[in-house]
């Protein structure tokens, strides 16, 4: 996304030109008295929940089989090595 800063006066004088840039995906920051006071940005579309639910059903439960308990990083003692990094006895590269 392209970001452009313009003065409030320029934004007023070229409003429709700035809107055309926003339609193309630009983000316009309006500055007045050296302070950013407003942003023109493209409207975000709402999530189509029905289409998302349909896509999830079509995935045939690919994520249904995931079990967080099987994650090796979440098991007891998996992260004991992290405590060694902040000691002066642990040296990187030998």
- What's the pLDDT tens digit per position in 49-88? 888 888 877 776 666 666 767 776 767 776 665 555 555 5
Q: What are phi and psi of 18, to 5 degrees?
A: -65, -40
Identify which has the larger pLDDT, 51 or 17. 17
In the chain, where the domains are located = 3-40
**Torsion of Cα atoms, 29 then 30 then 33 then 35, to 10°:** -30
Q: What is the DSSP string of 2-69?
A: -EEEEEHHHHHHTHHHHHHHHHTT-EEEEEETTEEEEEE-PPPPPP-HHHHHHHHHHTTTTTTT--GG
Average pLDDT rounded to a whole number, residues 2-26: 93
CATH code, residues 3-40:
3.40.1620
Helix (H, G, I), strand (E, B) or coil at 73: helix
């Amino acid at each position: 996304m392209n970001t452009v800063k313009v003065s409030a006066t320029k934004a007023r004088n070229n409003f429709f030109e700035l809107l055309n840039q926003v339609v193309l995906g630009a983000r316009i920051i309006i500055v007045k008295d050296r302070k950013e006071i407003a942003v023109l940005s493209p409207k975000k579309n709402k999530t189509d929940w029905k289409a998302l639910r349909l896509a999830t059903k079509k995935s045939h439960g690919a994520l249904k089989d995931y079990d967080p308990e099987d994650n090796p990083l979440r098991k007891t003692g998996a992260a004991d090595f992290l405590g060694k990094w902040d000691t002066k006895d642990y040296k990187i590269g030998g």
